[in-house]
Amino acid sequence: MNRNTTVAEIRKQIKQSLAGLYDENEIGNFTDLIFQHLLNYSKIELRLKGNEVISQHFIDKIAEIINRLRAFEPVQYILGETLFYDLPMMVSPDVLIPRPETEELVDWIIRENSGKALRILDIGTGSGCIAITLALERPFARITAVDRFAAALGIAQRNAGILSAHVEFLTSDWFNGLAGRRFDLIVSNPPYIATADPHLTRGDVRFEPPTALAAGVDGLDDLRHLAAAAGLHLKPGGRLLLEHGYDQGAACRALLRQAGFSEVTTLKDLAGLDRVTLGHLATQSTVDRSPHP
């Protein structure tokens, strides 16, 4: 990239530099994010200001970002932020990068709980994206978010502060710090990838925290624990929603039924794949069936 390089020329150079490493849509998304982050350009401005010359300072920064993208480092970690439900969220290698599938989970909760003053628990909150979005979209709800890692909670708390979201944050290894507390709805996007899955060592996933991705030989360890233990922390009639892998719907339905949940069903994502399994607690569980690790 040379001096007096225009926006349009930089866009072309980004595309050429990343061609063959990412598909065309991904490259377009990267370009939008880079310009939004560095120059506060909207997608429309990016296209209207094609002839605008970019300073050498920003050209150098863009070149550095491209080099890191060529090593498959996630653009969200490079920029330190991402968008979730159209909200800016800080992220770092201490937290999982929020996925569009989780936006669909949040969208379902918002749609099904209009105007209800519920107590909601987001367990394993990571960046706080689920809890914060629910707090902003359903201000009458009382949101609690927990994580066992202080670094993750720190990021979630900063995100909540920036967005003025009212969320109670607590340190807890799953339910261990929530004795005696019950909620109307518990939601979680836990680790659900098998520990030996080769995808964990490929591409941008290898930059994400393994503790937020892998969960035992079959990827179901944390889902088992959440399904079995959630009954002690739900009010009668309360609901549990668990995000999981596309091929884990049947297993998760079995786990919820075994734990005493009724009306168990699996929601599909926009690609038509199993993504979230939910159930109702008809009567308050009295036995913790959780496989204590």
pTM of structure: 0.86
pLDDT at 77: 94
Task: Answer whether residue 292 shows pLDDT above 70.
Answer: no
DSSP conformational letter for 96: P
Radius of gyration of the chain (CA): 21
Task: Answer whether residue 287 shows pLDDT above 60.
Answer: no
The neighbouring-strand residues paired with 65 are none
Residue pLDDT, tens place only, 132-148: 999 999 999 999 999 99
Residue pLDDT, tens place only, 149-176: 999 999 999 999 999 999 999 999 999 9
Residues in contact with 91: Cβ distance below 8 Å, sequence separation at least 6, in sequence order: 76, 77, 80, 81, 82, 97, 98, 127, 155
Any idea where the domains of the chain sit in the sequence? 7-71, 92-281
Nearest to 240 by CA among 265, 218, 221: 265
As a three-state string, the secondary structure of 189-231 is CCCCECCCCHHHHCHHHHHCCHHHCECCCCCCHHHHHHHHHHH
Nearest to 293 by CA among 148, 128, 122, 121: 148
pLDDT at 21: 92
Question: What are the distances in angstroms from CA 91 to CA 77, 171, 204, 229, 238?
Answer: 6, 18, 14, 29, 31
**Can you tell me which residue has the tokens 């290894």?**
173
Nearest to 48 by CA among 14, 82, 11: 11
Q: In 10 A of CB 23, how many CB atoms?
A: 11
**Rounded mean pLDDT, 260-267:** 96
The full DSSP string for 30-86 is HHHHHHHHHH---HHHHHHTTTPBPPHHHHHHHHHHHHHHHTT--HHHHHTEEEETT
DSSP conformational letter for 6: B
For the domain covering 92-281, report its CATH number. 3.40.50.150
**Rounded mean pLDDT, 70-76:** 91
Q: How far is CA 11 from the centre of its chain?
A: 28
Average per-residue pLDDT for the chain: 89
Task: Answer whether residue 92 shows pLDDT above 50.
Answer: yes
Could you tell me if 233 and 180 are in contact, meaning their C-beta atoms sit under 8 angstroms apart? no
Dihedrals phi, psi of 262, to nearest 5 degrees: -115, 175
